[in-house]
Structure 1
């Protein structure tokens, strides 16, 4: 696309947005709480995208091969002779 065409298109878009905002501001601000509530499922999907689902939330300690029982005193099976 030509650079002048892009600039002209951007100017018309800004003018359209200003006119729409002036005429429909009350309607848009009235719908804002509902839009936030509707965005919650999308936010949940995108924030948990790397987890692979809800089934894996409880098993985070199993992946590293780290034995948590060995760190707790009295659970390791070793007795200290002080």
Structure 2
């Protein structure tokens, strides 16, 4: 892509974000607590990898045999 195109696209995206923020700020801030609560299961899944998928206990048991 041309450099001027990227700069123009970034400017338009910035303007769009400012306009969206100014028009929908109350909606977004009102939904923020719910979005944080919805993020909890996703963070749990990605941070822990789910329950039962870790093999740390199995490796320690095999080393004791």
Per the shorter chain, which TM-score range?
A: 0.7 to 0.9
Alignment partner of 1:63 out of 52, 59, 65? 59
> Pairwise CA RMSD of aligned residues?
2.1
Higher helix share: 2
Runs of at least 4 residues off by over 3 Å = none
Structure with greater contact order relative to length (CA < 8 Å, sep ≥ 6)? 2
Matches within 5 A, 1:29-44: 29-44=29-44
Q: Provide TM-score, normalisation by structure 1.
A: 0.64
Larger radius of gyration: 1
Alignment partner of 1:54 out of 51, 54, 58? 51
Which consecutive unaligned segments of at least 5 residues does structure 2 have? none
In structure 2, the residue matched to 1:4 is: 4
Which consecutive unaligned segments of at least 5 residues does structure 1 have? 67-82
Number of residue pairs aligned between Structure 1 and Structure 2: 62
